[in-house]
Structure 1
Amino acid sequence: LKTMKLSRSSRLKELPNLSNAKNLECLDLHQCVALLELPSSISNLHKLNFLETNHCRSLQVIPTLTNLVSLEDIKMMGCLRLKSFPDIPANIIRLSVMETTIAEFPASLRHFSHIESFDISGSVNLKTFSTLLPTSVTELHIDNSGIESITDCIKDLHNLRVLALSNCKKLTSVPKLPGSL
Protein backbone atom coordinates (compact mmCIF):
# COMPACT_ATOMS: atom_id res chain seq x y z
CA LEU A 1 0.00 0.00 0.00
CA LYS A 2 1.59 3.25 -1.17
CA THR A 3 -1.37 5.63 -1.18
CA MET A 4 -4.26 5.88 1.25
CA LYS A 5 -6.98 8.36 0.33
CA LEU A 6 -9.74 8.63 2.88
CA SER A 7 -10.78 12.13 1.84
CA ARG A 8 -14.36 13.22 2.46
CA SER A 9 -14.99 10.34 4.87
CA SER A 10 -17.16 12.64 6.92
CA ARG A 11 -18.00 10.16 9.69
CA LEU A 12 -14.49 8.78 10.18
CA LYS A 13 -13.52 9.52 13.80
CA GLU A 14 -10.32 7.53 14.14
CA LEU A 15 -7.72 5.77 12.06
CA PRO A 16 -6.49 2.25 12.69
CA ASN A 17 -2.97 1.43 13.80
CA LEU A 18 -0.80 2.22 10.79
CA SER A 19 2.34 0.41 11.94
CA ASN A 20 2.07 -2.25 9.23
CA ALA A 21 1.69 0.25 6.38
CA LYS A 22 5.48 0.42 6.00
CA ASN A 23 5.37 1.43 2.31
CA LEU A 24 2.78 4.20 2.65
CA GLU A 25 3.95 7.33 0.82
CA CYS A 26 0.76 9.40 0.62
CA LEU A 27 -1.89 9.83 3.32
CA ASP A 28 -4.80 12.02 2.21
CA LEU A 29 -7.35 12.78 4.93
CA HIS A 30 -8.85 15.85 3.26
CA GLN A 31 -12.29 16.73 4.71
CA CYS A 32 -12.43 13.95 7.30
CA VAL A 33 -14.43 16.41 9.38
CA ALA A 34 -15.08 14.07 12.34
CA LEU A 35 -11.47 12.86 12.70
CA LEU A 36 -10.23 13.78 16.20
CA GLU A 37 -6.58 12.77 16.10
CA LEU A 38 -3.94 10.98 14.10
CA PRO A 39 -2.68 7.76 15.68
CA SER A 40 0.80 7.74 17.19
CA SER A 41 1.61 4.85 14.84
CA ILE A 42 1.90 7.42 12.05
CA SER A 43 5.43 8.03 13.34
CA ASN A 44 6.38 4.57 11.96
CA LEU A 45 5.61 5.52 8.35
CA HIS A 46 9.19 6.19 7.30
CA LYS A 47 8.36 6.33 3.57
CA LEU A 48 5.52 8.84 3.97
CA ASN A 49 6.29 11.92 1.87
CA PHE A 50 2.86 13.62 1.71
CA LEU A 51 0.34 14.23 4.50
CA GLU A 52 -2.87 16.16 3.98
CA THR A 53 -5.34 16.97 6.75
CA ASN A 54 -7.04 19.91 5.03
CA HIS A 55 -10.46 20.76 6.48
CA CYS A 56 -10.32 18.14 9.24
CA ARG A 57 -12.35 20.53 11.41
CA SER A 58 -12.38 18.31 14.51
CA LEU A 59 -8.69 17.37 14.43
CA GLN A 60 -7.10 18.29 17.76
CA VAL A 61 -3.95 16.18 17.93
CA ILE A 62 -1.21 15.45 15.44
CA PRO A 63 1.48 13.35 17.14
CA THR A 64 5.15 14.05 16.64
CA LEU A 65 6.22 13.48 13.06
CA THR A 66 9.95 14.00 13.56
CA ASN A 67 10.79 10.35 12.68
CA LEU A 68 9.29 10.71 9.20
CA VAL A 69 12.52 11.30 7.30
CA SER A 70 10.82 11.13 3.87
CA LEU A 71 8.05 13.61 4.68
CA GLU A 72 8.36 16.63 2.38
CA ASP A 73 4.87 18.08 2.08
CA ILE A 74 2.36 18.79 4.88
CA LYS A 75 -1.01 20.44 4.32
CA MET A 76 -3.04 21.40 7.40
CA MET A 77 -5.60 23.89 6.09
CA GLY A 78 -8.79 24.51 8.06
CA CYS A 79 -7.88 22.38 11.09
CA LEU A 80 -9.84 24.74 13.33
CA ARG A 81 -9.37 22.84 16.60
CA LEU A 82 -5.65 22.30 16.21
CA LYS A 83 -4.19 24.62 18.85
CA SER A 84 -0.50 23.80 18.70
CA PHE A 85 1.95 23.20 15.93
CA PRO A 86 3.04 19.54 15.76
CA ASP A 87 6.67 18.48 15.87
CA ILE A 88 7.67 17.88 12.28
CA PRO A 89 10.85 16.65 10.57
CA ALA A 90 13.44 19.18 9.46
CA ASN A 91 13.43 17.86 5.87
CA ILE A 92 10.06 19.46 5.03
CA ILE A 93 10.01 21.29 1.68
CA ARG A 94 6.40 22.55 1.56
CA LEU A 95 4.46 23.48 4.68
CA SER A 96 0.91 24.79 4.52
CA VAL A 97 -0.77 25.60 7.85
CA MET A 98 -3.64 27.73 6.62
CA GLU A 99 -6.84 28.78 8.40
CA THR A 100 -5.91 27.40 11.80
CA THR A 101 -6.08 28.86 15.30
CA ILE A 102 -2.35 28.38 15.89
CA ALA A 103 -0.99 31.58 17.43
CA GLU A 104 2.75 30.96 17.10
CA PHE A 105 5.23 28.71 15.39
CA PRO A 106 8.22 27.03 17.02
CA ALA A 107 11.63 28.65 16.89
CA SER A 108 12.96 25.33 15.56
CA LEU A 109 11.65 26.26 12.09
CA ARG A 110 14.88 28.18 11.50
CA HIS A 111 16.71 24.83 11.34
CA PHE A 112 14.51 23.47 8.55
CA SER A 113 17.09 24.05 5.83
CA HIS A 114 15.06 22.41 3.04
CA ILE A 115 11.82 24.35 3.39
CA GLU A 116 10.99 26.33 0.27
CA SER A 117 7.30 27.15 0.60
CA PHE A 118 5.68 28.27 3.87
CA ASP A 119 2.00 29.24 3.87
CA ILE A 120 0.29 30.43 7.04
CA SER A 121 -2.53 32.35 5.36
CA GLY A 122 -5.75 32.73 7.30
CA SER A 123 -4.03 32.41 10.69
CA VAL A 124 -6.31 34.83 12.52
CA ASN A 125 -4.69 34.27 15.93
CA LEU A 126 -1.22 35.05 14.61
CA LYS A 127 -0.37 38.56 15.82
CA THR A 128 3.30 38.81 14.95
CA PHE A 129 5.59 36.95 12.68
CA SER A 130 8.92 36.78 14.43
CA THR A 131 9.87 33.22 13.61
CA LEU A 132 13.30 33.02 12.08
CA LEU A 133 13.00 31.05 8.88
CA PRO A 134 15.83 29.32 7.06
CA THR A 135 17.27 31.12 4.04
CA SER A 136 16.00 28.28 1.82
CA VAL A 137 12.47 29.79 1.87
CA THR A 138 11.47 30.97 -1.62
CA GLU A 139 7.75 31.56 -0.96
CA LEU A 140 6.12 33.02 2.15
CA HIS A 141 2.35 33.45 2.27
CA ILE A 142 0.71 35.23 5.22
CA ASP A 143 -2.50 36.37 3.48
CA ASN A 144 -5.76 37.00 5.38
CA SER A 145 -4.17 36.84 8.81
CA GLY A 146 -4.44 38.77 12.07
CA ILE A 147 -0.77 39.69 11.86
CA GLU A 148 0.12 43.12 13.22
CA SER A 149 3.87 43.11 12.65
CA ILE A 150 6.71 41.30 10.96
CA THR A 151 10.15 41.51 12.51
CA ASP A 152 13.16 42.38 10.41
CA CYS A 153 14.20 38.71 10.28
CA ILE A 154 12.57 38.65 6.85
CA LYS A 155 15.48 40.62 5.37
CA ASP A 156 17.71 37.55 5.79
CA LEU A 157 15.61 35.41 3.43
CA HIS A 158 17.96 35.84 0.47
CA ASN A 159 16.16 33.23 -1.67
CA LEU A 160 12.68 34.70 -1.15
CA ARG A 161 10.94 35.22 -4.49
CA VAL A 162 7.29 35.48 -3.36
CA LEU A 163 6.00 37.41 -0.33
CA ALA A 164 2.21 37.46 -0.07
CA LEU A 165 0.76 39.75 2.60
CA SER A 166 -2.62 40.63 1.11
CA ASN A 167 -5.65 41.34 3.29
CA CYS A 168 -3.63 41.67 6.52
CA LYS A 169 -5.84 44.43 7.90
CA LYS A 170 -3.93 44.87 11.18
CA LEU A 171 -0.45 45.00 9.61
CA THR A 172 0.96 48.48 10.26
CA SER A 173 4.41 48.28 8.65
CA VAL A 174 6.68 46.07 6.61
CA PRO A 175 10.37 45.85 7.54
CA LYS A 176 13.30 46.01 5.15
CA LEU A 177 12.91 43.31 2.53
CA PRO A 178 15.57 41.05 1.05
CA GLY A 179 17.14 42.06 -2.26
CA SER A 180 15.83 38.88 -3.89
CA LEU A 181 12.30 40.31 -4.11
Structure 2
Amino acid sequence: MDNSSQEPIRQRKRLFINLSRNELPESLKECMEQPVRARLVSISTDEMISSNWLDMQLPEAEVLVLNFRTKDYALPTFVVNMKKLKVLIATSSLNYAELSDFQLLGLLTNLKTIRLERISIPSLSETCEPLRNLQKISLYMCLFAEAFRDCSIQISDLLPELREMNVDFCEDLVRLPAGLCDIVHLKKLSITHCYKLCELPNEIGNLRNLQVLRLRSCTELEILPDSIRYLSELFTLDISDCIRIKDLPEDIGELKKLINLNMNHCSRLQYLPESFWQLEQSLDLVCDKEIK
Protein backbone atom coordinates (compact mmCIF):
# COMPACT_ATOMS: atom_id res chain seq x y z
CA MET A 1 0.00 0.00 0.00
CA ASP A 2 1.15 3.53 -0.77
CA ASN A 3 2.23 5.07 2.52
CA SER A 4 3.48 8.33 1.04
CA SER A 5 0.61 10.20 2.61
CA GLN A 6 0.68 10.83 6.36
CA GLU A 7 -3.08 11.23 6.45
CA PRO A 8 -5.11 8.47 8.07
CA ILE A 9 -6.24 5.97 5.44
CA ARG A 10 -9.87 6.80 5.96
CA GLN A 11 -9.25 10.49 5.15
CA ARG A 12 -7.22 10.09 1.96
CA LYS A 13 -8.73 11.20 -1.35
CA ARG A 14 -6.46 8.88 -3.35
CA LEU A 15 -5.84 5.33 -2.17
CA PHE A 16 -3.28 3.00 -3.79
CA ILE A 17 -3.18 -0.62 -2.63
CA ASN A 18 -0.79 -3.41 -3.65
CA LEU A 19 -1.68 -6.87 -2.40
CA SER A 20 0.25 -10.11 -2.77
CA ARG A 21 0.11 -13.67 -1.47
CA ASN A 22 -3.24 -13.13 0.23
CA GLU A 23 -1.50 -11.09 2.88
CA LEU A 24 -3.51 -8.18 4.24
CA PRO A 25 -1.44 -5.39 5.84
CA GLU A 26 -2.52 -4.40 9.31
CA SER A 27 -3.00 -0.81 8.22
CA LEU A 28 -5.49 -1.92 5.59
CA LYS A 29 -7.83 -3.59 8.03
CA GLU A 30 -9.03 -0.13 8.92
CA CYS A 31 -10.60 0.05 5.44
CA MET A 32 -12.82 -2.88 6.25
CA GLU A 33 -13.97 -1.62 9.61
CA GLN A 34 -14.97 1.92 8.66
CA PRO A 35 -15.83 3.80 5.44
CA VAL A 36 -12.94 5.31 3.46
CA ARG A 37 -13.42 8.71 1.83
CA ALA A 38 -11.12 8.15 -1.15
CA ARG A 39 -12.48 9.32 -4.51
CA LEU A 40 -9.83 7.47 -6.52
CA VAL A 41 -8.97 3.88 -5.57
CA SER A 42 -6.31 1.81 -7.34
CA ILE A 43 -5.88 -1.85 -6.35
CA SER A 44 -3.15 -4.12 -7.73
CA THR A 45 -3.10 -7.83 -6.94
CA ASP A 46 -0.84 -10.71 -7.87
CA GLU A 47 -1.60 -14.26 -9.00
CA MET A 48 -1.82 -15.49 -5.40
CA ILE A 49 -4.83 -13.41 -4.41
CA SER A 50 -8.14 -15.25 -4.17
CA SER A 51 -11.38 -13.83 -5.58
CA ASN A 52 -12.87 -12.90 -2.23
CA TRP A 53 -9.76 -11.16 -1.02
CA LEU A 54 -11.18 -8.08 0.58
CA ASP A 55 -14.31 -6.30 1.72
CA MET A 56 -14.10 -2.54 1.72
CA GLN A 57 -16.41 0.40 2.28
CA LEU A 58 -15.80 3.05 -0.40
CA PRO A 59 -18.97 5.16 -0.51
CA GLU A 60 -17.23 8.25 -2.01
CA ALA A 61 -15.17 6.51 -4.70
CA GLU A 62 -15.71 7.84 -8.23
CA VAL A 63 -12.81 6.07 -9.98
CA LEU A 64 -11.78 2.43 -9.45
CA VAL A 65 -8.65 1.00 -11.09
CA LEU A 66 -8.08 -2.76 -10.91
CA ASN A 67 -4.76 -4.29 -12.00
CA PHE A 68 -4.45 -8.05 -11.71
CA ARG A 69 -2.20 -10.92 -12.76
CA THR A 70 -4.53 -13.89 -12.82
CA LYS A 71 -6.18 -15.73 -15.69
CA ASP A 72 -9.52 -15.75 -13.85
CA TYR A 73 -10.63 -12.66 -12.02
CA ALA A 74 -13.87 -11.83 -10.28
CA LEU A 75 -14.94 -8.26 -9.74
CA PRO A 76 -14.83 -7.59 -6.01
CA THR A 77 -18.30 -7.79 -4.50
CA PHE A 78 -17.87 -4.49 -2.65
CA VAL A 79 -18.31 -2.59 -5.93
CA VAL A 80 -22.09 -2.88 -5.56
CA ASN A 81 -21.89 -0.43 -2.66
CA MET A 82 -19.86 2.12 -4.59
CA LYS A 83 -22.91 4.18 -5.49
CA LYS A 84 -20.90 7.18 -6.74
CA LEU A 85 -18.61 5.19 -9.03
CA LYS A 86 -18.27 6.88 -12.44
CA VAL A 87 -15.18 5.25 -13.96
CA LEU A 88 -14.01 1.62 -13.92
CA ILE A 89 -10.64 0.59 -15.38
CA ALA A 90 -9.73 -3.11 -15.31
CA THR A 91 -6.38 -4.26 -16.67
CA SER A 92 -4.86 -7.72 -16.82
CA SER A 93 -1.14 -8.28 -17.27
CA LEU A 94 -2.00 -11.61 -18.93
CA ASN A 95 -3.66 -11.77 -22.32
CA TYR A 96 -7.40 -12.43 -22.31
CA ALA A 97 -8.08 -13.00 -18.65
CA GLU A 98 -11.60 -14.17 -17.86
CA LEU A 99 -13.59 -11.52 -16.04
CA SER A 100 -16.52 -12.80 -13.98
CA ASP A 101 -19.29 -11.22 -11.91
CA PHE A 102 -19.68 -8.65 -14.67
CA GLN A 103 -23.36 -8.44 -13.74
CA LEU A 104 -22.45 -6.42 -10.64
CA LEU A 105 -21.90 -3.39 -12.86
CA GLY A 106 -25.58 -3.30 -13.73
CA LEU A 107 -26.26 -2.12 -10.17
CA LEU A 108 -24.08 0.99 -10.50
CA THR A 109 -26.41 3.71 -11.69
CA ASN A 110 -23.72 6.43 -11.93
CA LEU A 111 -21.19 4.40 -13.93
CA LYS A 112 -20.34 6.42 -17.06
CA THR A 113 -17.00 5.05 -18.33
CA ILE A 114 -15.52 1.56 -18.60
CA ARG A 115 -12.06 0.72 -19.93
CA LEU A 116 -10.96 -2.91 -20.21
CA GLU A 117 -7.49 -4.13 -21.25
CA ARG A 118 -6.46 -7.70 -22.16
CA ILE A 119 -9.76 -9.15 -20.98
CA SER A 120 -12.08 -11.77 -22.41
CA ILE A 121 -15.48 -10.16 -22.00
CA PRO A 122 -18.31 -12.51 -21.03
CA SER A 123 -21.73 -12.47 -22.63
CA LEU A 124 -23.54 -9.29 -21.65
CA SER A 125 -26.72 -11.34 -21.38
CA GLU A 126 -25.35 -12.23 -17.95
CA THR A 127 -25.78 -8.61 -16.92
CA CYS A 128 -29.00 -8.54 -14.94
CA GLU A 129 -29.54 -4.82 -15.33
CA PRO A 130 -28.75 -2.52 -18.28
CA LEU A 131 -25.84 -0.13 -17.87
CA ARG A 132 -28.29 2.72 -18.06
CA ASN A 133 -25.93 5.68 -17.73
CA LEU A 134 -22.82 4.27 -19.37
CA GLN A 135 -21.58 6.79 -21.93
CA LYS A 136 -18.14 5.53 -22.93
CA ILE A 137 -16.58 2.08 -23.30
CA SER A 138 -13.01 1.39 -24.42
CA LEU A 139 -11.66 -2.06 -25.19
CA TYR A 140 -7.93 -2.59 -25.72
CA MET A 141 -6.56 -5.99 -26.72
CA CYS A 142 -9.77 -7.65 -25.57
CA LEU A 143 -11.83 -10.58 -26.82
CA PHE A 144 -15.41 -9.48 -27.11
CA ALA A 145 -17.04 -11.56 -29.85
CA GLU A 146 -18.92 -13.46 -27.15
CA ALA A 147 -20.16 -10.29 -25.46
CA PHE A 148 -23.13 -9.84 -27.79
CA ARG A 149 -23.66 -13.44 -28.88
CA ASP A 150 -26.93 -15.16 -27.88
CA CYS A 151 -27.85 -12.03 -25.97
CA SER A 152 -31.34 -12.24 -24.53
CA ILE A 153 -31.72 -8.45 -24.52
CA GLN A 154 -31.10 -5.98 -27.34
CA ILE A 155 -27.75 -4.22 -27.26
CA SER A 156 -29.47 -0.85 -27.43
CA ASP A 157 -31.38 -1.77 -24.27
CA LEU A 158 -28.20 -2.84 -22.49
CA LEU A 159 -26.35 0.36 -23.40
CA PRO A 160 -29.10 2.91 -23.98
CA GLU A 161 -27.00 6.05 -23.30
CA LEU A 162 -23.70 5.04 -24.92
CA ARG A 163 -22.04 8.00 -26.67
CA GLU A 164 -18.58 6.66 -27.47
CA MET A 165 -17.12 3.24 -28.22
CA ASN A 166 -13.41 2.58 -28.81
CA VAL A 167 -12.13 -0.81 -29.91
CA ASP A 168 -8.40 -1.24 -30.43
CA PHE A 169 -6.31 -4.33 -31.20
CA CYS A 170 -9.24 -6.72 -30.61
CA GLU A 171 -8.20 -9.68 -32.70
CA ASP A 172 -11.44 -11.66 -32.59
CA LEU A 173 -13.56 -8.91 -34.17
CA VAL A 174 -14.57 -10.17 -37.61
CA ARG A 175 -17.99 -8.58 -38.05
CA LEU A 176 -19.38 -5.65 -36.14
CA PRO A 177 -22.62 -6.76 -34.42
CA ALA A 178 -25.59 -5.19 -36.18
CA GLY A 179 -27.26 -4.56 -32.82
CA LEU A 180 -24.68 -1.90 -32.00
CA CYS A 181 -26.18 0.20 -34.77
CA ASP A 182 -29.39 0.63 -32.79
CA ILE A 183 -27.69 2.72 -30.11
CA VAL A 184 -29.23 5.97 -31.22
CA HIS A 185 -27.10 8.27 -29.01
CA LEU A 186 -23.75 6.95 -30.26
CA LYS A 187 -21.59 9.84 -31.50
CA LYS A 188 -18.15 8.28 -31.84
CA LEU A 189 -17.26 4.80 -33.08
CA SER A 190 -13.55 4.05 -33.30
CA ILE A 191 -12.34 0.63 -34.45
CA THR A 192 -8.60 0.57 -34.99
CA HIS A 193 -5.97 -2.11 -35.59
CA CYS A 194 -8.63 -4.83 -35.69
CA TYR A 195 -6.91 -6.81 -38.41
CA LYS A 196 -9.63 -9.44 -38.88
CA LEU A 197 -12.53 -7.04 -39.29
CA CYS A 198 -13.87 -7.68 -42.76
CA GLU A 199 -17.44 -6.44 -42.66
CA LEU A 200 -19.55 -3.59 -41.36
CA PRO A 201 -23.31 -4.15 -41.12
CA ASN A 202 -25.53 -2.23 -43.51
CA GLU A 203 -27.44 -1.13 -40.40
CA ILE A 204 -24.61 1.28 -39.63
CA GLY A 205 -26.70 3.87 -41.41
CA ASN A 206 -29.05 3.80 -38.40
CA LEU A 207 -26.48 5.70 -36.33
CA ARG A 208 -28.01 9.05 -37.28
CA ASN A 209 -26.18 10.93 -34.49
CA LEU A 210 -22.72 9.53 -35.30
CA GLN A 211 -20.14 12.30 -35.69
CA VAL A 212 -16.88 10.32 -35.85
CA LEU A 213 -16.30 6.99 -37.60
CA ARG A 214 -12.73 5.78 -37.35
CA LEU A 215 -11.69 2.50 -39.02
CA ARG A 216 -7.94 2.94 -39.05
CA SER A 217 -5.72 -0.07 -39.89
CA CYS A 218 -8.57 -2.52 -40.39
CA THR A 219 -6.61 -4.26 -43.11
CA GLU A 220 -9.20 -6.89 -44.07
CA LEU A 221 -12.04 -4.41 -44.57
CA GLU A 222 -12.89 -4.18 -48.27
CA ILE A 223 -16.01 -2.02 -48.55
CA LEU A 224 -17.97 0.64 -46.72
CA PRO A 225 -21.74 0.01 -46.68
CA ASP A 226 -23.80 2.28 -48.93
CA SER A 227 -25.93 3.12 -45.90
CA ILE A 228 -23.26 5.48 -44.52
CA ARG A 229 -24.97 8.08 -46.72
CA TYR A 230 -27.52 8.38 -43.91
CA LEU A 231 -24.93 9.47 -41.33
CA SER A 232 -26.06 13.06 -41.66
CA GLU A 233 -24.09 14.29 -38.60
CA LEU A 234 -20.80 12.67 -39.57
CA PHE A 235 -17.89 15.15 -39.73
CA THR A 236 -14.89 12.77 -39.46
CA LEU A 237 -14.30 9.61 -41.47
CA ASP A 238 -10.96 7.83 -41.08
CA ILE A 239 -10.16 4.80 -43.24
CA SER A 240 -6.40 5.26 -43.21
CA ASP A 241 -4.35 2.08 -43.69
CA CYS A 242 -7.42 0.15 -44.84
CA ILE A 243 -5.38 -1.28 -47.66
CA ARG A 244 -8.15 -3.43 -49.21
CA ILE A 245 -10.69 -0.69 -49.81
CA LYS A 246 -10.91 -0.04 -53.57
CA ASP A 247 -13.65 2.55 -53.81
CA LEU A 248 -15.97 4.74 -51.80
CA PRO A 249 -19.77 4.43 -51.61
CA GLU A 250 -21.56 6.01 -54.58
CA ASP A 251 -23.50 8.47 -52.44
CA ILE A 252 -20.72 9.59 -50.11
CA GLY A 253 -21.39 13.12 -51.33
CA GLU A 254 -24.56 13.15 -49.21
CA LEU A 255 -22.43 13.49 -46.08
CA LYS A 256 -22.88 17.25 -46.09
CA LYS A 257 -21.23 17.79 -42.68
CA LEU A 258 -18.10 15.81 -43.51
CA ILE A 259 -15.06 18.03 -42.96
CA ASN A 260 -12.30 15.46 -42.22
CA LEU A 261 -11.58 12.53 -44.50
CA ASN A 262 -8.45 10.47 -43.97
CA MET A 263 -7.63 8.02 -46.78
CA ASN A 264 -3.91 7.82 -46.13
CA HIS A 265 -2.23 4.59 -47.27
CA CYS A 266 -5.35 3.31 -49.02
CA SER A 267 -3.16 2.01 -51.81
CA ARG A 268 -5.91 0.16 -53.70
CA LEU A 269 -8.32 3.06 -53.82
CA GLN A 270 -8.76 3.72 -57.53
CA TYR A 271 -12.22 5.18 -57.88
CA LEU A 272 -13.95 8.26 -56.52
CA PRO A 273 -17.69 8.48 -57.21
CA GLU A 274 -19.10 11.58 -58.87
CA SER A 275 -20.94 12.54 -55.69
CA PHE A 276 -17.58 13.01 -53.98
CA TRP A 277 -17.29 16.42 -55.64
CA GLN A 278 -20.50 17.52 -53.92
CA LEU A 279 -18.68 17.72 -50.62
CA GLU A 280 -17.91 21.18 -49.32
CA GLN A 281 -14.69 22.81 -50.45
CA SER A 282 -13.60 23.07 -46.83
CA LEU A 283 -13.08 19.29 -46.70
CA ASP A 284 -9.76 18.44 -45.05
CA LEU A 285 -8.56 15.53 -47.15
CA VAL A 286 -5.57 13.41 -46.10
CA CYS A 287 -4.33 10.90 -48.65
CA ASP A 288 -1.27 9.71 -50.54
CA LYS A 289 0.18 11.88 -53.30
CA GLU A 290 -0.78 9.30 -55.92
CA ILE A 291 -4.45 9.47 -54.93
CA LYS A 292 -4.40 13.27 -54.91
Counterpart residue number, 2:249 = 151
Q: In the alignment, which residue of structure 1 is the partner of 2:114?
A: 27
Q: Percent same amino acid at aligned positions?
A: 18
Change (3 A) 1:37 1:79: farther
For the residue of structure 2 that corresponds to 1:123, the secondary structure is coil
Moved more, 73-82 or 36-45: 36-45
Long gaps (5+) in structure 2: 1-84, 149-153, 284-292
**Larger of the two Rg values belongs to structure:** 2
More strand by share: 2
Q: 1:6 aligns with which of 77, 90, 96?
A: 90
SS at match of 1:75: strand
Partner Cα distance (1:60, 1:6) in 2: 18
SS at match of 1:84: coil
TM-score, normalised to structure 1, is: 0.88
Cross-structure match for 2:134: 48
Asked if residue 80 in structure 1 is aligned to residue 166 in structure 2, the reply is no
- 2:156 paired residue among 66, 69, 85: 66
1:166 is aligned to 264
Deviation at 1:9, TM superposition (A): 4.7
Q: Deviations over 1:59-84 (max 9, x none)?
A: 33232531122100000111111222
C-alpha distance in structure 1 between counterparts of 2:262 and 2:129, whole Å: 33
Of 63-72 and 133-142, more deviation after overlay is shown by 63-72
Asked whether 1:121 is paired with 2:216, we answer yes
Give me the whole-angstrom Cα distance separating, in 2, the residues matched to 1:42 and 1:112.
Answer: 26
Unpaired runs of at least 5, structure 1: none
CA contact (8 A) 2:202 2:226 kept: yes
CA–CA separation in structure 2 for the residues paired with 1:42 and 1:179: 45
Q: Higher helix proportion, which one?
A: 2
Distance in 2 between residues matched to 1:111 and 1:60, nearest whole Å = 21
Q: Report Cα offsets for 1:112-163 as digits up to 9, x if no partner.
A: 1110000011111111223322111000000101212212221110000001
Give the letter for the 1:50 counterpart. Answer: K
Whether the aligned pair in 2 keeps the contact of 1:106 and 1:131 (CA below 8 Å) is: no
Root-mean-square deviation (CA), in Å?
2.0
Equivalenced residue count is 178
Cα distance, 1:6 vs structure 2: 0.7
What CA deviation, in whole Å up to 9, does each residue of 1:33-60 have, x standing for no partner?
Answer: x42545331871010000001222x333
Aligned residue for 2:233?
136
Structure 2 length as normaliser, TM-score? 0.56
Higher RCO structure, 1 or 2 (CA under 8 Å, sep 6+): 1
